[in-house]
Amino acid sequence: MTSSTSQGVLYIVSAPSGAGKTSLVKALLKNDLAIRLSVSYTTRAARPGEVDGRDYHFVDRHRFEQMLAEGEFLEHAEVYGNYYGTSKGSISRDLNAGRDILLEIDWQGANQVKDHFPQSASIFILPPSFSALRTRLKGRGQDSDEVIERRLAAAAHDVAHAEAFDYIMVNDDFDHALLDLVAITRSVRLEAARQLNRHAALFDEFRRI
């Protein structure tokens, strides 16, 4: 038996650009169908292969600023000249319905989400080294050398905030990193407070004996 009113789990995943966060998250979601990805809003252009409504909600700057003024975002940030934001109402509805939700956001957004949802579980993914990160960014072939250098500088700033997260993992070997990520999400679900809520009816049954 399970409680019909149990809250879902909110997972927050952050990493420097190029650390492999998106690939790991996609593999996690394929492995664990109970976790749903929260689709953020952004003003940046869609990259090849990205689909509106699946990867992001792509909106223009005017629409984003309008939503911001109306208080629609749980968190928002400007990254490399583009806005990113998470719908407050959408997250609350999913969690109240018992759905597990995952957010891919930067450390600034993670701090804002933690303020609203202190029971969320935050995970920071590190690259194995600075040189490995540079190699990965160049290997993507998506950015100019100037943009890559900006991303590398930003990465050092991002890593400085890793200690604020609940979990820290290193993406050196992809398969091993995925196992780590799966282990984290499973352990969060098994925390006593969550299990007491999720299986309230079961505990009540034993109390009546």
CA-based max dimension of the chain: 69
- Asked if the structure places residue 166 within a domain, the reply is yes
In a domain, 124, yes or no: yes
Per-residue pLDDT, 129: 87
- Domain presence at residue 71: no
Domain assignment present for 49? no
Q: Confirm whether 174 is domain-assigned.
A: yes
Starting at the edge strand that comes first in sequence, how are the strands of the sheet with 100-104 ordered?
A: 35-37, 100-104, 10-14, 121-126, 167-170
Q: 178-201 pLDDT, tens per residue?
A: 999 999 999 999 999 999 988 999
Whether 20 is covered by a domain: the verdict is: yes
pLDDT at 35 over 90: yes
Q: Across the strands, what pairs with 35?
A: 100
Q: Which of 65, 133, 142, 76 is nearest to 105 (CA)?
A: 76
The answer to pTM > 0.75 is: yes
Residue 27 has pLDDT above 60, yes or no: yes
Q: Is residue 58 part of a domain?
A: no
Confidence of residue 141 (pLDDT cuts 50, 70, 90): low
Tell me the mean pLDDT in the region 71-79: 88
Q: What percent of the chain has pLDDT over 90?
A: 65
- What is the model's pLDDT at position 3? 41
Which residue range forms the structural domain that includes residue 187? 10-38+100-207
The C-alpha atoms of residue 191 and residue 164 are separated, in whole angstroms, by 20
| 146 pLDDT above the threshold of 70 | yes
The SS3 call for residue 181 is helix
The string of DSSP codes covering 137-172 is HHHH--S-HHHHHHHHHHHHHHHTTGGGSSEEEE-S
Could you give the number of structural domains in the chain?
1
30 is a domain residue? yes
CA distance 168 to 194: 21
CATH number at residue 122: 3.40.50.300
pLDDT(152) > 80: yes
